Amino acid sequence: MPESTFLERLDQAFKDFNEPLPERASALICVLVDHWQDLREEYGYAGLFALRKQMRPQFDRHFDQVDDALVLSESGLVALVQGQDIDSLRESSRALFQALSSRTYEIGGDQAAVTVSLGFCAFDLRYTDGSQMLTEAVSRTEDLRRHGGNQWLPVTASISAAQASVDHRRMLGLLMQSLRNNSVRVVFQALLSTRGEDIHCFQMLPRLKAADGELIPAAEFLPVARSARLLPTLDRWILNRAVQLLSEQYRHDSVRLFVSQADELLVDEKRRKQFATQLEASSALGDRLVLDFHLTDAMSHLKGTEALLAIARDQGIGICLSLVDDHSNWQLLQERLRCDYLRMAPEFVLRLAKSDDLAHDLDELTGPVREQGTRIIMPMIEDAGAAAHLWSSSIDYLQGNIIQMAQERIQLGD
């Protein structure tokens, strides 16, 4: 098959895979004959071509659908295969590897036994296109052969944190693949109570894990998620993860999780009803789950926010409004947007740490809402001096790297 036709089919298959619910699973199979130079010396190119011709039917025997197969070189083939799911394709590729390496081949009037290196490359949203995936599959299989061969290798996309940070397409692919594979990571940052609470409070933060093991912070991929309209999907994922943790792993621990959300629950009535049903089904969330929204989102959707506040009160979960400062509408925060927690804006925290006058103003601002039961959170505390200065202010929680760096596991102490 002409190379251009194969690449066109591959690119089209990759575009189909990018659909929200692809109809079939797809993968690339790269097969390279080990020690092919020795075979060439013994049988010439005619022998290599005969060997390759006998290998080709094995693809059809092991896969339901072989869309295209391309002669990669005198010593190899690459094929685009499809099936019901990726697990069955993976197992079929293992069986193909065993079949190719265990049989004998008729070459030049004799029989020859060979071994192969086989790379199995499942379609992955971390690739930017089919051509990049083909390059990765072939180069990784070539590396496998150079190191002795006779192995089956799963080829996975290798996007480093640095690559994702400078290429929005790669970042988007990493995010989409992580959501599809349920492999988004979370870290936890403690909130230190200034009033000596018995419950341990943590903010739950999403992370993407790059190929080099580095965890990419949310600030780097949330803009990409927003532009691709993936924020609702990401929000639902992290909220479901929080509910699962509180209902299972930390069901009997004194743990409260703060979970940031965009505006879907404020805008979409159907989504609020689904969430209310989810809360009713769990008995482990009361006073242990807090949803965190930007104040500007709440102000832009007052009716939806009031509806969600009512659901939260009925089910015993908390609501936090973030990015609050001395210029916010505090009267509204006492009335229609009365909530359980207010998280101050980082810029305000910086000003507060340097100003005794602003600290006095804070007491006046927060007094009425604190009397109603609203608690005040100071985030982004990065040095001991700021923590000491704020400790005696009208606040209830301190949060930041000086308090505790974000960790992959919740640390409850002894």
pLDDT at 68 over 80: no
161 confidence band (pLDDT: 50, 70, 90): low
Residue 279 has a pLDDT of 93
Averaged pLDDT, 87-108: 93
Return the residue matching tokens 């061969």: 149
Residue 18 has a pLDDT of 76
Residue 160 has a pLDDT of 64
Averaged pLDDT, 288-293: 97
pLDDT at 414 over 70: no
More confident residue, 206 or 351: 206
Number of other CB atoms surrounding residue 64 within 10 Å: 13
Domains of the chain as residue ranges with CATH = 3-154 (3.30.70.270), 162-398 (3.20.20.450)
Return the residue matching tokens 């929204």: 293
DSSP 307-338: HHHHHHHHHT-EEEEEEE-TTS-HHHHHTTT-
- Are 379 and 164 in contact by the 8 Å Cβ rule? The answer is no
Question: pLDDT tens digits, residue range 30-64?
Answer: 999 999 999 898 889 998 899 999 999 999 999 98
More confident residue, 79 or 125: 79
What tokens does 379 get? 């985030």
pLDDT at 157 over 80: no
Number of other CB atoms surrounding residue 406 within 10 Å: 17
Question: pLDDT tens digits, residue range 316-334?
Answer: 999 999 999 999 999 999 9
The lowest-confidence range among 21-25, 162-166, 284-288 is: 162-166
pLDDT at 3 over 60: no
Determine whether 247 is exposed, middle or buried from the number of CB atoms within 10 Å of its CB (0-12, 13-18, 19+). Answer: middle
The overall average pLDDT reported for the chain is 88
Averaged pLDDT, 302-313: 96
Residue 159 has a pLDDT of 64
Question: pLDDT tens digits, residue range 332-361?
Answer: 999 999 999 999 999 988 888 777 777 777
pLDDT at 373 over 70: yes
CA distance 30 to 140: 9
Q: Side chain identity at 344, as an amino acid letter?
A: M
Q: Would you state the torsion angle of the CA atoms of residues 222, 228, 229, 231, taken in this order, to the nearest 10 degrees?
A: -20
All residues at 6 or more sequence positions from 154 whose CB lies less than 8 Å from its CB, including other chains:
90, 120, 121, 122
Mind spelling out the 3-state secondary structure of 105-147? EEECCEEEECCEEEEEEECCCCCCCHHHHHHHHHHHHHHHHHC
